[in-house]
Structure 1
């Protein structure tokens, strides 16, 4: 006789079997899924300690212009040659006390954008202050005894990471008359200062950057900062040149705007930047490295064996003021202004990396520069100028425009006359419909 108790388990035993089965199933699924987690996700914990290899293998290489005297600059040296100021008034008590570890303390002096790191030396003095020139790289691409670059990694989930490469220069030299395109250059012929080669738009302190986006540890696109805007490329774009897998960046003469190719580049519709392969700089050899938590905006230092830097200060990142002088007033003897065009020789210094929209959806910043009406007007004019407004073309274009206006006027005139005639005809038909002539004749006979 079969013992039912031994052949079939009790309900409580069945329940324990089901729980054990599902427990083992979950453990197996978890272990199996680990084999298919992207490399970037598996390295997430490690990435907060050191720079991932895939970032180092795809980091930019910068070609500085061969004639640019203003080279990458050490961050600490720049700070030590400045004094904080608000509304052009220097704040005493900071002589040689400021450094990269306490710079954020200046935020307590005023509003976020009120403090300016003002140069202790005038940019109009002769000889020119030597610390504003910066320092060039050696033959290996390393800049010794200086840190002009910071690398910030922004992890956006398990698969996506944005790597920002910021380059710092103590001085930005703006354009001069040779960099203004025809025919707008002729507008300055009566301005002696401009015609003598005055550079306008200069400022102390200059931050430029590239951003490379990675997906599953592979680069998919890159952004180049350029003046008030920039350019973005997908990684396989033929315009993006590379050296051993590392993208090439060309730093423009004076302005240090970043471009993907050498040669002349038009910006803001009417100005030209010059780029060439002067000296090769590898920013990864002289940089600070960090990861940024995108929600709390917290900076964490990272290590990189290729860099000789041991210290990794963070306070300077949280500084919200400007990294240079405030624009000098028009009555300041250092300032020169071009009448009517409001071009000034010196402008205000820039904000730091914190304000460069480090958390963004696309390669471009989410909030891009909005052109003024004057900028739009200049852009439209410069688009039409080469084909329709240069030399004898302006007469043909004028004749075409005049002919178009005359044709439009005649068309409008005849169109109105035609519409009036049609309206009058419709009125006659309506009257004929409302009062038939037969009725009128019948009434006449009756009378």
Structure 2
């Protein structure tokens, strides 16, 4: 759930008062000037899509038009309206009535090949622009008159998880007898995928950037050497299939044992095909469309951003023939689709979401094992480590035995000891009478 913060004055009142005393507030959006600040556009991320990723950024409306709202994988009979970006939030009341979350369920089977074209999204042209699609949403959140967080959300209709080639050794050997895994089955796939970057600004200057990655992410200071830039704009590498965002190309390990691959395949400039909004944190999550020099905000929809359900299928039950389970780790072939921008902690206090995920016992165990594997458990090292552990254990056992024997000897040597005080006989007699 998004954390709530209370601000002492309304957004536009703060802007008006700050404008009289500081020059920095004059560039922030106001009702009279509902235009995206130029500095937000100047420092907006540039995304490099992986050269072999078939699943590109997708149009939001096209995605919705190819889904059916369902609860527990059953169509909602009470909702007969044709879905679009202007009425998607109407599903919230339906889900509330059923005390269940609504899922936008694909009208096409995700295992029937070839997959429909809408799941593959759109490829940007040489300039980085995606035509005939809006796959990006930019939301500006003013934390104080001097501080603003700019969220850049990227949407893909399909997320393809990893396969056996993306599992580090020696854990990959655990699946050698699983035919589906060995045949290249991907796990963690889901319909719909929301990723994002967030850039923090103070006095119109960027100070930090956050990269979403699977269930967590990474944050960097703006001048961190890990953050590469082009014409002052930060570079983002979208991982093959999963679309996790990274600050550099190459291989990246996530969840301690899985690999994401990034390269500079296709340049995508998200702000060339995006909706822009300002979030008023003092209100009950109210979004105001913002105009850019590229396009007017008069036609920007807002209902889809208030939608609290899932942007893809619910997780298939084990009884569904499409569902498979990876042994040992209970990883599913198909996961549930994600929720939208509203649930991404837009009112966070720092770069990272305020509520970060906790690791399960399995994840914790894998992390410990993989941290020890290179130095202590790999190849001949396991014999040395085993011998060392046996030696340490034997030493502890011998030491404990010696301590116990010495303690017993001392106890026996003590024998009878006279008390340092005398008890009068009449006290003993009195106790005996009692």
Normalising to structure 1: TM-score of the pair? 0.85
Alpha-carbon offset, residue 408 of structure 1: 1.4
- Please name the residue that 2:318 is paired with: 330
Contact 1:118 1:324 in 2 (8 A): yes
- Please name the residue that 2:225 is paired with: 238
Secondary structure of the residue aligned to 2:30 is helix
Match runs of 1:268-283 below 5 Å: 268-283=255-270
- Please name the residue that 2:68 is paired with: 83
**Alpha carbons of structure 1 residues 80 and 138: separation in structure 2 relative to 1, 3 Å:** same
Contact 1:285 1:308 in 2 (8 A): no
Which of 134, 139, 142 lines up with 2:126 in the alignment? 139
Which of 38, 53, 77 lines up with 1:68 in the alignment? 53
- Please name the residue that 2:290 is paired with: 302
**Alpha carbons of structure 1 residues 198 and 96: separation in structure 2 relative to 1, 3 Å:** farther
Equivalents in 2 of 1:362, 1:271: separation in Å?
27
Query: Does 1:259 pair with 2:246?
Result: yes
Match runs of 1:344-383 below 5 Å: 344-383=332-371
Of stretches 175-184 and 328-337 in structure 1, the one that deviates more from structure 2 is: 328-337
Secondary structure of the residue aligned to 1:45 is coil
- Please name the residue that 1:203 is paired with: 190
Which of 34, 44, 49 lines up with 1:59 in the alignment? 44
C-alpha RMSD over aligned residues: 2.2
Secondary structure of the residue aligned to 1:171 is strand
Equivalents in 2 of 1:72, 1:148: separation in Å?
6
Secondary structure of the residue aligned to 2:316 is coil
Flag the structure with higher helix content.
1
- Please name the residue that 2:24 is paired with: 39
**Alpha carbons of structure 1 residues 129 and 272: separation in structure 2 relative to 1, 3 Å:** same
**Alpha carbons of structure 1 residues 429 and 214: separation in structure 2 relative to 1, 3 Å:** farther
Alpha-carbon offset, residue 420 of structure 1: 5.0
Paired positions, count: 402
Secondary structure of the residue aligned to 1:411 is helix
Alpha-carbon offset, residue 295 of structure 1: 2.7
- Which digits, 9 at most, give the CA deviation of each residue in 1:133-161, with x for residues without a partner? 00011111110110000000000011111
Equivalents in 1 of 2:344, 2:228: separation in Å?
25
Alpha-carbon offset, residue 124 of structure 1: 1.1
Equivalents in 2 of 1:201, 1:89: separation in Å?
22
Of stretches 287-296 and 41-50 in structure 1, the one that deviates more from structure 2 is: 41-50
- Please name the residue that 1:110 is paired with: 95
- Please name the residue that 1:24 is paired with: none
Equivalents in 1 of 2:393, 2:211: separation in Å?
44
Structure 1: 5+ residue runs without aligned partners? 1-32, 436-447
- Please name the residue that 1:193 is paired with: 180
Of stretches 144-153 and 121-130 in structure 1, the one that deviates more from structure 2 is: 121-130
Secondary structure of the residue aligned to 1:110 is helix
Point out the structure with max Rg over C-alpha: 1
Which of 151, 166, 169 lines up with 2:153 in the alignment? 166
**Alpha carbons of structure 1 residues 430 and 48: separation in structure 2 relative to 1, 3 Å:** farther
Contact 1:284 1:307 in 2 (8 A): no
Match runs of 1:310-321 below 5 Å: 311-321=299-309
Equivalents in 1 of 2:395, 2:25: separation in Å?
65
Alpha-carbon offset, residue 249 of structure 1: 0.3
